[in-house]
A and B are shown apart, each in its own frame.
Chain A
Amino acid sequence: IQLTQSPSFLSASVGDRVTITCRASQGISSYLVWYQQKPGKAPKLLIYAASTLQSGVPPRFSGSGSGTEFTLTISSLQSEDFATYYCQQLNSYPLTFGGGTKVEI
């Protein structure tokens, strides 16, 4: 299953509302995960099951979608949110990641 993220790069400012899209090449129900990764660091789990916020993740992050189209929204971008975001599908093997969306200032 191929995951296509858009955009690949996003320029934004603190306080902006940001939306990232992840499209699956076939239906994956809600088996979609979002991670955040900062340079030189391991990925951090943000959202699982398409829309469930991981414990400790700020509520400005939200996820939605099912089937083939999913979105990650940051309601009000903070300085610590500048990072690369990846989606991952857990519907079937081999598990796959999207190509990533880099959020830059």
Chain B
Amino acid sequence: QMQLVESGGGVVQPGGSLRLSCAASGFTFSSYGMHWVRQAPGKGLDWVAFIRYDGTNENYGDSVKGRFTISRDNSKNTLFLQMTSLRAEDTAVYYCAKDRRLRFLDASDIWGQGTMVTVSS
């Protein structure tokens, strides 16, 4: 079945960096756009970034633009989120999610279980 598994979360100091990974299985990863969405403790959902199925286009939320980079390796069925200049307000569970439709921006029909990132000194 289609599955997404995030990894790479942990505790990092303010100003530090972290790289999250999302391993995909059960579907043709290279045919779908992918998202990162986060949720701070006790708060709502916050869209972070999107990458096109072929990696040729990326978009970011205003709060992470210039600090986070989304990328993908279609040969390894893996999505990444490189996070730099981390702030306390970046503390959240980070989810990766798959577009519902082939090659078009769409609703996210498959989500990972999430990985926790804590930014604290």
A contact residues around B100 at 8 Å (CB)? 45, 48, 54
Is there a chain A Cβ closer than 8 Å to B82's Cβ? no
Among B37, B46, B107, B112, which residue has its beta carbon within 8 angstroms of that of A90? B107
Cα(A59)–Cα(B47), bound, Å: 28
Cα(A35)–Cα(B110), bound, Å: 12
Q: Which residues of A contact B (CB under 8 A)?
A: 33, 35, 37, 42-45, 48-49, 54, 86, 88, 90, 93-100
B contact residues around A49 at 8 Å (CB)? 107
A contact residues around B60 at 8 Å (CB)? 94
Within 8 A of A (CB), among B34-71: 35, 37, 44-47, 50, 59-62
**Known A94-B61, A94-B62; contact A45-B107, beta-carbon cutoff 8 A:** yes
